[in-house]
Amino acid sequence: MRKPHGVVDRFPINPKWVVLLLVIPLLALFLLLIGALGPLKPHNPSDLGRASGALRPPKPPRLAYLISGTQGDGRRLKRLLQAAYHPWNFYLLHLDRTAPPEERADLATYAASEATFVQFGNVRMVEDADPVSQKGPTMIACTLHAVAILLREFEDWSWFINLSAADYPLMPQDDILHVFSYLPRDFNFIKHTSDIGWREYERARPIIVDPGFYKPSRTDIFWAKEKRSMPSAFKIFAGSSWVILARPFLEFCIWGWDNLPRTLLMYYTNFLSSSESYFHTVICNSQDFQNTTINDDLRFMMWDDPPRLHPMNLTSEHFNLMAESGAPFAHSFSREDPVLDRIDDELLQRSAGRFTPGKWCLANPEFGTDPCSVRGRPSVIQPTVNSRRLEMLLVKLLDPDDFRPRQCI
């Protein structure tokens, strides 16, 4: 898909938001001056729209989503796609090999025939499904495969976001696109630490074999009797499997011009739960990208005390915490939990079976019609009041006293 020509048409910003909107680029500019961001210069919105006297935000970035699931997740992926859809973004759907052919065919038919997707041409499905073992490196292989497809199929996207069937957005895409317009395009949101603790003896030292590489159906991983020592050529980092990664870093991972990504990919072939460590280790061992990290995955999660291996399933009792967190996404939800309906109704303004409305939706909902049944230009966005929560979260994450000390330590 070619990038549209012309000036992006967006409505003037409410003056009450101006102070908050200025904080993000000003903090980014400060970090640039102290050498934190490298050569990329963030856009200052105060320089825009001076001729007309109106504040005109910068052009919004395009986001590339991987939405993935397993057997029985076809309906959940449809709902998640509808909730997170925006014609300005790109979407790749993946159901792993455990999903029956008819379930995969149904999702593929929906992706290829939905009128909105046909008009904007921004939804694809991985036709040759990958095997995915949750604890094995096949999950990393699947993610890298998806990134390669997105790089081949779509031009000019800025960030990659991975979502599973257990995830759900907490705000419309207009809000996310609006706030991300002010961020340097090389920022990487990835929760990480080198203090891996118990992971050293339970994940780094054991040697495992992922049967997904050899068998058509997913089975439990194989454990070797031997243990291995910790590497000395690089430092291991670990964190969350959920990431928002910038295109320049992912091009480095795919092309690997200094061989670090390939070297680490071979090491992580026998690493337990490598999706929680591979990208983290690559980015923090690369001098070109280690200063682009923001130590957060922008997901709302709830953990038991003491924390278990996986976060709690979110329910209605967590709704207020989710809404006030400022996170654009939440993980994880059980199938058809009623809290998803509440998120649709109160946060996304979305009706069942329809897309989350944005400024690209032109029909009048007061007549009972689907707002997105009449579609305008995808580059036109208008944030809701929820965007201010995301702005405040990013201001906190970019605080100079907290930003640099949490990078790759």
Per-residue pLDDT at 382:
95
Residue 350 has a pLDDT of 96
Strand order in the sheet with 329-331: 167-169, 329-331, 299-300
Residue 263 has what pLDDT? 96
Distance CA 404, CA 409 (A): 10
> For position 220, what pLDDT does the model report?
74
In sequence order, what E strands does 206-259 have?
206-209, 222-227, 238-239, 244-246
Q: Report the candidate in 116, 111, 112, 107 with the shortest Cα–Cα distance to residue 75.
A: 107
Spatial separation of the C-alpha atoms in residues 22 and 13, rounded to whole Å = 12
Confidence at residue 217, expressed as pLDDT on a 0 to 100 scale: 63
* Regions in the chain scoring below 70 on pLDDT: 1-55, 216-219, 306-307
At 72-130, the pLDDT tens digits run 999 999 999 999 999 999 999 999 999 999 999 999 999 999 999 999 999 999 988 88
- The SS3 call for residue 176 is helix
* Neighbouring residues of 364: CB distance < 8 A, sequence distance ≥ 6: 371
H or E segment to which residue 93 belongs: strand 90-95
Q: Distance (Å, rounded) from C-alpha 149 to C-alpha 147?
A: 5
C-alpha span between 207 and 268 (Å, rounded): 10
Q: pLDDT tens-digit profile of 270-280?
A: 999 999 999 99
- Judged by DSSP in three states, 68 sits in strand
User: What's the angle, vertex CA 209, arms to CA 301 and CA 224, rounded to 5?
Assistant: 110
